[in-house]
Amino acid sequence: MSLRTPLGKVLGLGAARDGVQHWWTQRLTSVALVPLSIWFVVSLLTLPSLDHATVVAWMSQSWTALLLIILVLVATWHSQLGVRVVVEDYVHGTGARTVTLVAMLFAHVLLAGAGVFAVLKVACGGAA
């Protein structure tokens, strides 16, 4: 016997109300983060120095800026999805849970925005 309701089956929705979207996005961002994060770590390790001038020169290259922006966006997205699951599992009470979820979402949007803004500013020569 299936525990799924006929309506749920038709709409493809589970108890989380948005079906497999969360699960699938978490997988997609994971797959993207494997090469992106490895690229970032290897870049940091192989830069001749981590002083301001060297990092700015590195970030001013188009490919670096582009990949950094994608990294910031995908990483904050993946983090938001993961943190959300942890909050849903461990924060009890609808009020507290909702407030925590909204705060975490806002924090992640702020992080993503700040990260992208910073990379763009450097790439456009605003950090000289």
Partner 1 sequence: MSRYTLASSIFNRLTGLVLSVGLLLLVYWLMAIAAGPSAFARALRLLSLPAAKLAYAALTVAFCYHLIAGIRHLVWDTGHALERAQSRLSAYLVVAVSLALVLLIAWYAWLSGTRAP
Q: Which residues contact partner 1 (rule: CB under 8 A)?
A: 27, 30-31, 33-34, 37-38, 41, 45-46, 49-53, 55-56, 59, 68, 72, 75-76, 79, 82-83, 86, 111, 114-115, 117-119, 121-122, 126-128
Q: How far is the CB of 18 from partner 1 (least distance, A)?
A: 19
Residue 110 CB, nearest distance to partner 1 (Å)? Answer: 9
Measured CA to CA in angstroms, residue 13 lies from 2, 5, 26, 56, 123 at distances of 14, 10, 17, 47, 43
Q: Between residues 7 and 77, which has the closer beta carbon with respect to partner 1?
A: 77
Residue 73 is encoded by which pair of tokens?
């966006």
Cβ atoms within 10 A of the Cβ of 74, count?
19
Please, what is the minimum distance in Å from the beta carbon of residue 2 to partner 1? 21
Smallest gap from Cβ 5 to partner 1, in A, equals 26
**Among residues 24 and 96, whose Cβ is nearest to partner 1?**
24
Write the DSSP symbol of residue 128.
Answer: -
Instruction: Provide the H-helix boundaries in 18-124.
Output: 21-46, 52-59, 62-90, 94-123
Q: Pick the closer one to partner 1 by CB: 20 or 98.
A: 20
Angle (CA) 19-25-28 rounded to 5° is: 140
Nearer to partner 1 among residue 5 and residue 30 (C-beta): 30
